[in-house]
């Protein structure tokens, strides 16, 4: 049985059209009408001077590029020069979602080229015309010796892979948040499989807006430390930056040796979302039966934990079976129906046991046919 996704995102996808106007002091104007301006600071080498130098450069050209959701190639480009008149264009768009605009302000005054770049995302919504106003200039850069100027995106830290499990295995769901304004919930830790869910996202002030399946959800975002994030409106439990999970990668554990059994159970104690790693080595080529016993299984000994079991080959962590758990609709897997594995002599097999809702003890065994 496939492991279920424990985090469901909902949001909205909508349609509209928008225009591009010159004549204000912002690259984009937020709903509150707040204005953001920049000062160019240049720090020169101390040998040249010990002072702050402020200089102004008249804009001679502005380049604009528009990007559709998830695209890296612009669908619209514009080059405006200082000799041109102010322009206003109504640009049709073919789909709703989060778009991106990139603006380059260029000054080539007196043979001294200066370039300042800005970018922003915006959402196309139903029954709305999105208006973007651009004024040449009103942007600046700060440079230090050996470095160039840039504008820092306050949400750049969020664009990464995130997992909600404190300990991780190959079958763990993985949330990818991309810089292009899209997100994907992958079915596997390595960012493959599926995606199980996907949508768009954008941020305003300290709020995040996630969209999928015709709805939008607004959430405050908490950051307990640089490698954790909590989407308050969706789940009080944190996501961990992939590779920074507090419990680590399950295969980094020292595996518990599992002896070949004549019928006895090797017992363990486990709690919810904890993973335990076992291993056994085949003595001969052939079939080996992997079985386990948990809460609800008949016959003594009686166990109290609810578990899910996975098996992998040692060399590449190739899955043999993954996250097989109890299903009342069929014979309980693991106990009544052991899983047979064809193994070469000397080959090592890893078995991952994960605790589910019921903590307690369990039994596991491997028998050669």
Summary count for the chain: helices (H), strands (E): 0, 28
Which has the higher per-residue pLDDT, 133 or 6?
133
What whole-number distance in Å separates Cα of residue 189 and Cα of residue 175? 9
Same domain, 267 and 234: no
User: Quick check: is 334 in a domain?
Assistant: yes
Same domain, 226 and 134: no
Same domain, 131 and 163: no
User: Quick check: is 217 in a domain?
Assistant: yes
Same domain, 47 and 95: yes
User: Quick check: is 238 in a domain?
Assistant: yes
Task: Tell me 4's DSSP state.
Answer: P
Same domain, 242 and 349: no
User: Quick check: is 103 in a domain?
Assistant: yes
Same domain, 238 and 310: no
Sheet holding 61-67, edge to edge: 76-81, 61-67, 97-107, 114-124
User: Quick check: is 26 in a domain?
Assistant: yes
For position 193, which CATH number holds?
Answer: 2.40.128.370
Of 134, 64, 118, 123, the residue nearest 93 (C-alpha):
123
pLDDT tens-digit map of 7-47: 543 332 222 222 322 333 323 333 333 344 444 444 444 44
Per-residue confidence (pLDDT) for residue 241, from 0 to 100: 96
User: Quick check: is 8 in a domain?
Assistant: no
Is the separation of the CB atoms in 355 and 274 below 8 Å? Answer: yes
User: Quick check: is 9 in a domain?
Assistant: no
Same domain, 127 and 55: yes
Same domain, 175 and 236: yes
Domain boundary among 217, 248, 279: 248
pLDDT tens-digit map of 84-98: 888 888 888 878 888
Spatial CB neighbours of 197, under 8 Å, sequence gap ≥ 6: 5, 8, 9, 184, 185, 212
- Which alpha helices (H) appear in the chain, and where do they start and end? none
Spatial CB neighbours of 239, under 8 Å, sequence gap ≥ 6: 162, 163, 164, 175, 228, 229, 230, 231
Domain boundary among 143, 168, 192: 143
User: Quick check: is 6 in a domain?
Assistant: no
Same domain, 111 and 161: no
pLDDT at 364 over 50: yes
Domain that holds residue 63: 17-143
Same domain, 346 and 315: yes
First-to-last C-alpha distance (Å) of the chain? 25
pLDDT tens-digit map of 149-185: 444 578 999 999 999 999 999 999 999 999 999 999 9
For position 135, which CATH number holds?
Answer: 2.60.40
Q: How many domains does the chain have?
A: 3
Same domain, 334 and 232: no
What's the mean pLDDT when you consider all of the chain?
Answer: 80
Domain boundary among 110, 143, 176: 143
Same domain, 263 and 304: yes
What whole-number distance in Å separates Cα of residue 168 and Cα of residue 310? 13
Task: Tell me 8's DSSP state.
Answer: -
Which has the higher per-residue pLDDT, 174 or 357?
174
């Amino acid at each position: 049985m496939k492991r279920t996704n424990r985090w469901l995102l909902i949001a909205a996808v909508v349609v509209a059209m928008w225009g591009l106007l010159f004549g204000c002091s912002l690259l984009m104007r937020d709903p509150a009408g707040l204005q953001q301006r920049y000062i160019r600071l240049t720090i020169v080498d101390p040998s040249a001077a010990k002072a702050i130098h402020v200089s102004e450069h008249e804009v001679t050209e502005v380049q604009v590029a528009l990007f559709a959701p998830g695209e890296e190639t612009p669908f619209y480009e514009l080059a405006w020069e200082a000799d041109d008149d102010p322009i206003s264009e109504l640009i049709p768009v073919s789909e709703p979602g989060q778009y991106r605009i990139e603006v380059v302000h260029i000054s080539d005054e007196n043979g001294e080229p200066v370039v300042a770049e800005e970018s922003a995302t915006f959402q196309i919504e139903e029954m709305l015309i999105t208006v973007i106003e651009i004024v040449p200039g009103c942007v600046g850069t700060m440079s230090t010796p050996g470095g160039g100027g840039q504008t820092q995106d306050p949400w750049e830290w969020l664009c990464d892979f995130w997992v909600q499990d404190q300990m991780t295995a190959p079958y763990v769901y993985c949330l990818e948040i991309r810089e292009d304004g899209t997100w994907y919930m992958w079915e596997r830790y390595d960012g493959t499989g599926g995606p199980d869910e996907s949508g768009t996202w954008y941020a305003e002030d300290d709020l995040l807006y996630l969209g999928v399946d015709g709805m939008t959800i607004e959430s405050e975002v908490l950051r307990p430390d640089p490698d954790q994030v909590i989407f308050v409106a969706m789940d009080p439990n944190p996501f961990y930056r992939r590779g920074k999970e507090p419990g680590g990668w399950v295969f980094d554990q020292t595996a518990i040796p599992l002896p070949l059994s004549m019928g006895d159970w090797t017992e363990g104690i486990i709690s919810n979302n904890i993973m335990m790693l076992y291993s056994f080595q085949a003595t001969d080529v052939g079939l080996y039966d992997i079985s386990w016993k948990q809460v609800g299984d008949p016959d003594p000994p009686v166990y109290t934990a609810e578990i899910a079991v996975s098996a992998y080959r040692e060399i590449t962590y190739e899955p043999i079976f993954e996250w097989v758990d109890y299903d009342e609709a069929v014979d309980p897997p693991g106990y009544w129906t052991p899983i047979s594995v064809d193994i070469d002599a000397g080959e090592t097999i890893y078995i991952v046991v994960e605790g589910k809702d019921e903590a307690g003890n369990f039994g596991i065994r491997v028998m050669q046919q």
